Amino acid sequence: MGFKIDFIVILFILDVEQYLILKVNGACTWPAEFVSTQWHDSSRGILTFGTESMQGWTFTPTTGTVVSSWDCVSVSTFSSDGRMILITSQPFSLFSTNYYAYLCITVTKVTVSSYRYYINHGIQGNVNNERVFIYPVSTLTDYGTICSDSGASGGEYQMLIKDGNESAAKIDCPWHFLGRYGYTHTVFGGSTTCDQSSSEIDMCTDTQEIKFDYNACSTKVAYSVSDTLWCVDNIAEGDTNYVMVFNGNDADSLIDNQSVFRFTCMAVSGDASSASVSPRYCQNGQTPDQYPSAASGQTTGALLAFSNSTETCRK
């Protein structure tokens, strides 16, 4: 029994030593704009950055295991290509082996208080369909191995908006979409609500906001209690605009991440006739005329069909 306990202690010490070697090799602190700050993340909620660590980016690699603490590994190329590499603060057990998870993200500034980022990993089915890189506990420092070319791209982007400075993240909504429209709303396997002749989506009163008339149709189209959302980013990919909107009006107590979310993404067709709606962020391969599908294969979100605009406000 004593031998087994000693063996476990030795393994633990080796794990810690290997982790410390990696950390020393990394010699990493966050870029100045992230040190000691909090951010709304489009898929994870509130992220809290210290000097070298970050809390809040949670995923569950195995049943009963929750990972939410990460440390900085490398930001050596952040100023040139926006790349940041993170490692879980502690290893976790998977298939009877200890692993660390890595995140390699490419970050782009959108406004003074917001950033867009892509996760540079393929989808890992054995860790709850997350985009992460997992590797057995070792002194891995080959960042080319960590960061993959098969990561998220196009409309599958994430957003960071600085806590306490949310309104500064507003941008103009996509030019081709600016106007007033009637619409119908259809959920997967469910009903169609709202009448194009009486419902209204309005982007002319404020070209940085999308406003719904919930008196004409009470369906909560973009997963908010408030009838008004802010445009905070837009990526054009072919004929589709992937528009991220932020729910900046609802109190924190209303955000249940079941039916009410901080972020919603709309994939809008080039002719502004249709859109698909996904909570949090747009899914891989999302199109304006098909229901979004999560990495797990589960269908989510809704479809919108727009009437011809009753007013345009394109500048």
| Whether 27 and 174 share a structural domain | no
Q: 174 and 161 in one domain?
A: no
Same domain, 99 and 153: yes
Of 120, 139, 167, the domain-final residue: 167
Predicted confidence at residue 19, as pLDDT, reads: 44
Q: Do 176 and 158 lie in a common domain?
A: no
Instruction: Please give the pLDDT value at position 14.
Output: 38
In a shared domain, residues 91 and 123: yes
- Is the model's pLDDT at 204 over the cut of 50? yes
Residues 174 and 262 placed together within one structural domain of the fold: yes
β partners of residue 72: 86
**Residue 129 and residue 228 in one domain:** no
SS3 labels along 29-89: CCCCCCCCEEEEECCCEEEEECCCEEEEEEECCCCCCCEEEEEEEECCCHHHHCEEEEEEC
Of 137, 141, 134, 133, nearest in space to 12 by CA: 137
Residue 228: beta bridge partners? 211
Are 174 and 151 in the same domain? no
Q: Are residues 88 and 217 in the same domain?
A: no
Q: How far is the C-alpha of 182 from the C-alpha of 159, rounded, in Å?
A: 28
Instruction: Say which residue, 206 or 125, is predicted with more confidence.
Output: 206
Residues 160 and 203 in one domain: no
Which of 41-55, 195-209, 287-301 comes out lowest in average pLDDT?
287-301
Measured between its terminal Cα atoms, the distance across the chain in Å is: 77
In this prediction, residues 81-92 reach a mean pLDDT of 95
| Claim to verify: residue 35 and residue 143 sit in the same structural domain | yes
Highest mean pLDDT among 8-17, 18-27, 189-198, 224-233: 224-233
Last residue of a domain, one of 167, 190, 225: 167
- The 10s digit of each residue's pLDDT in 108-137 is 999 999 999 999 999 988 888 999 999 999
Number of Cα atoms under 13 Å in the Cβ half of residue 263? 27
For residue 150, the model assigns a pLDDT of 85
Distance, C-alpha 71 to centroid of its chain: 19
Looking at per-residue pLDDT, the higher value among 150 and 122 belongs to 122
Domain housing 101: 2-167
Residue 27 pLDDT: 75
Instruction: Please state, in angstroms and rounded to a whole number, the distance separating the CA atoms of residues 302 and 186.
Output: 6
Number of domains comprising the chain: 2
Q: Are residues 188 and 161 in the same domain?
A: no
Cβ of 259: how many Cβ atoms within 10 Å? 12
Which runs of consecutive H residues, i.e. helices, occur in the chain?
Answer: 2-26, 78-81, 143-146
Q: What is the pLDDT of residues 152-166, one digit of tens each?
A: 999 999 999 999 999
**End residue of a domain, out of 167, 198, 232:** 167
Q: For residues 283 and 304, give the distance between their C-alpha atoms in angstroms, rounded to a whole number.
A: 16
